[in-house]
A and B are shown apart, each in its own frame.
Chain A
Amino acid sequence: MSYSKEFLCSIHEKMLTLRQMELKILDRYAQGRVPGHIHSAIGQEGTFAGVLSTKKDGDYWKPIHRMHSLSYMMGMDEDAFWGELFGKKTGNSGGRGGMLHIGDFNTGFLGMSATLGNDAGVCVGAAMTIDYDNRDNVVYMIMGDGTSSRGPVYEALTMAKLWNLPVLFICENNAFALSTPAEDGIPVKDALAGRGSGWELPTKVVDGTDVLAVYEAAKELTDQMRAGGGPAILECKNYRWRGHFEGDQCNYRDPEMTKDKMENQDCLKMFEEKLINKGIITEQEIEAFKERFDKQMDAAIERAEAAPSIKPEEIYDNLYA
């Protein structure tokens, strides 16, 4: 596939935004300034940016517990983003939900359940609305390889297939479910694509560190879905750089392997090298972006930290509509 310079730059900007945002989050967490647990997906930007570069207005998406930065990449206001991460009143739920529930409904964000996989059906329900209104939209249901073992995922697949609903079931397979390596917990080669094969859906398995390969696979599948082709499965293989959560010492895996993945399979670095070699972007431009981003986010973080928390008398607000 040939791409315009504009498109390649936009996809790069998405990846770089995720990378810089994850770095900011990790940095603030290390300083003890984030109240909850952080599940970083730094190093896996290619999968998220590749898939969601196919999103159109009116589409819906559901994140996973990793890559909190995704909501910002999808267009969420930075003050609401950091407000929610810090548990402040300025967050989308006023700090009631927390980092696993950061997102802006107006970007198509459906929310996320921390009981992983039980929210698969939420995506099917959103697809029912799309179907009911005869729209050519799709729903991005993202899960990890760990979640691909959960029963509710397969009920959702059944419903989506039965009613031919436009849900793209995406497995972001980073090779670990908390401490359990995929080869110990998943009895087939491809976590979702393998087990989901019984549903007879259009299915693709791609290298999740190759952002354009991810984009192309997602584009082909979602184009078919928009034309009424029904649900599909996309599995993207990548590798979790950090522990399950920050503070996880990762004593269940070989640090050399992790080091090798970080040095030699960095999806962002590989993509940037490509773009620089083709003369599409310069190192200076990348550095300038990082500088701008840092400044902008540092200011946003300062505002979020200074923002008020909800008061005890507001604790019941929003429980009911």
Chain B
Amino acid sequence: MKVSYSKAIGDALKEEMRRDERIVMIGEDIGEYGNIFGITRGMLEEFGSKRVRNTPIVENAIVSCGVGAAITGLRPCFELMYSDFTMCSFTEIFHIMAKWRYMHGPDFKLPMVIRNASGSANGAAAEHSNPVESLFMHAAGLTIITPSCAYDAKGLLKSAIRSDNPVLFCEPKQLYQTKQEIPEDIYNSDYTVPIGVADVKREGADVTLVAIGLMVPRALEAAERLAAEEISVEVVDPRTLAPLDTETIYASISKTHRAAVVEESNKTSGVGAELAAKFQEDLYYELDGPVCRIAALDVPMPYNLEMEHYSIPTVERIMDSIRGMFR
């Protein structure tokens, strides 16, 4: 069956809420409206207003409420609408959600998820287009997940909801409408995808391309086209950015001896900056050349659609960057 990324997210939410009545959802416009992308449509009717609640525009409170509900026995799976709004609740995510257990001790468990629609799309411009993984990778204690396809999205969201640790769950907006062929029996099998396990999306011999979220399908297309030029690209999707599966990624780099990272967020201090630093620290003698960072341009996301498309890595830009590693 063909499954869209947004349907996979919605199905994971519904299946989990049917399985465990301690799971509750709150967020802006998730009730009757069904979330601005239609993901939670029908859930208010099915689960009632105690479990699916609209909030006013109160991002600070959404996250801190999640912490309070989680430590006292509910399993909140809350929504912040756009990833950019995580910055309204930066303190709550960075100080409270991430650190509460460490600061207060092992009696404090935070089985909570904060979902957000991430990255650029359709002229959403400077304040509604920012992937935020790199900002929060700095906060020890968080689990950060960014799935790149419907199968992973469903399985990882289930794992996130079942985890006893706080999870920031990022859903690249441009992926919502993308579809993936998944056998029906597997899709309906209550499968999960483990947290902290990267996935080799395409095997290759010459270069490891670590791709995140929206960049995974682009990396795969670039790899396909580069194969015709006899550059064999291995595409690795970390899926979980914290904790990071260095074992899988390092095994790949130790095989190909070249590494590149492609992400939708700005290049400066982005995910690629952290990964490149890690690779040179840990794998210096495995690398045949410098680590290549492919990322968004360091500008506030322009509103103009051509410039929006230009500012984040395209398949062509990824191909050019990879070619550059062999010159």
Binding site for B on A (CB under 8 A): 60, 91-94, 96-98, 101, 103-106, 110-111, 113-115, 118-133, 151-152, 155-156, 158-159, 162-163, 318-321
A105 with B61: CB separation less than 8 A: no
B102 with A103: CB separation less than 8 A: no
Contacts of B55 in A (CB 8 A): 159
A110 with B71: CB separation less than 8 A: yes
Closest partner residue, chain B, to A109 (CB atom): B104
Q: Which 7 A-B pairs have the closest CB atoms?
A: A125-B68, A121-B64, A97-B103, A105-B107, A125-B65, A125-B69, A122-B68
Extra contacts, 20 of them, besides A101-B104, A118-B64, A131-B50 (Cβ < 8 A), are A60-B72, A93-B102, A97-B102, A98-B103, A103-B104, A105-B104, A111-B103, A119-B96, A121-B63, A122-B96, A124-B68, A125-B66, A125-B69, A126-B72, A132-B74, A156-B60, A159-B55, A318-B101, A320-B141, A321-B164
A97 with B68: CB separation less than 8 A: no
Contacts of B2 in A (CB 8 A): none
A126 with B68: CB separation less than 8 A: yes
- B216 in the interface, Cβ–Cβ < 8 Å? no
B100 with A111: CB separation less than 8 A: yes
B60 with A151: CB separation less than 8 A: yes
B70 with A93: CB separation less than 8 A: no
A156 with B96: CB separation less than 8 A: no
20 interchain pairs, CB-CB under 8 A: A94-B105, A97-B105, A98-B103, A101-B104, A105-B107, A110-B68, A113-B91, A118-B91, A125-B67, A125-B71, A125-B74, A129-B68, A132-B24, A151-B60, A152-B64, A156-B61, A159-B56, A318-B101, A318-B105, A321-B110
Contact of A113 among B56, B61, B96 (CB under 8 A): B96
- Cα–Cα distance between A151 and B57 once the two chains are bound (Å): 13
Shortest beta-carbon distance from A65 to chain B in Å: 13
Contact of B140 among A60, A119, A130, A319 (CB under 8 A): A319
Contacts of A114 in B (CB 8 A): 95
Closest partner residue, chain B, to A105 (CB atom): B107
Contacts of A118 in B (CB 8 A): 60, 64, 91-92, 95-96
Interface size range of chain B in the complex: 35 or more
Contacts of A131 in B (CB 8 A): 50
Shortest beta-carbon distance from A99 to chain B in Å: 11
Shortest beta-carbon distance from B47 to chain A in Å: 12
- B108 in the interface, Cβ–Cβ < 8 Å? yes
A124 with B96: CB separation less than 8 A: no
Closest partner residue, chain B, to A167 (CB atom): B68
B61 with A111: CB separation less than 8 A: no
Contact of B101 among A106, A127, A319 (CB under 8 A): A319
B68 with A127: CB separation less than 8 A: yes
Known: A97-B105, A119-B64, A152-B60. A129 touches B69 (CB 8 A): yes
A96 with B91: CB separation less than 8 A: no
A126 with B61: CB separation less than 8 A: no
A121 with B74: CB separation less than 8 A: no
Shortest beta-carbon distance from A155 to chain B in Å: 4
- B232 in the interface, Cβ–Cβ < 8 Å? no
Contacts of A98 in B (CB 8 A): 103
Contacts of A94 in B (CB 8 A): 105
Contact of A126 among B24, B69, B95 (CB under 8 A): B69
Contacts of A115 in B (CB 8 A): 91, 95-96
Shortest beta-carbon distance from B175 to chain A in Å: 27
A124 with B110: CB separation less than 8 A: no
Contact of B58 among A60, A132, A155 (CB under 8 A): A155
Known: A93-B104, A106-B107, A152-B60. A126 touches B141 (CB 8 A): no
Contacts of A92 in B (CB 8 A): 104-105, 107
Closest partner residue, chain B, to A93 (CB atom): B105
- Cα–Cα distance between A110 and B68 once the two chains are bound (Å): 7
- B324 in the interface, Cβ–Cβ < 8 Å? no
Residues of chain B in range 90-118 having any CB-CB distance to chain A below 8 Å: 91-92, 95-96, 100-110
Contacts of A152 in B (CB 8 A): 60-61, 64, 91-92
B95 with A158: CB separation less than 8 A: no
A121 with B102: CB separation less than 8 A: no
Contacts of B73 in A (CB 8 A): 129, 133
Report which residue of A94, A130, A132 has the largest number of chain B beta carbons within 10 angstroms of its beta carbon.
Answer: A132
Known: A113-B96, A115-B91, A159-B55. A125 touches B76 (CB 8 A): yes
B104 with A111: CB separation less than 8 A: yes
B102 with A96: CB separation less than 8 A: yes
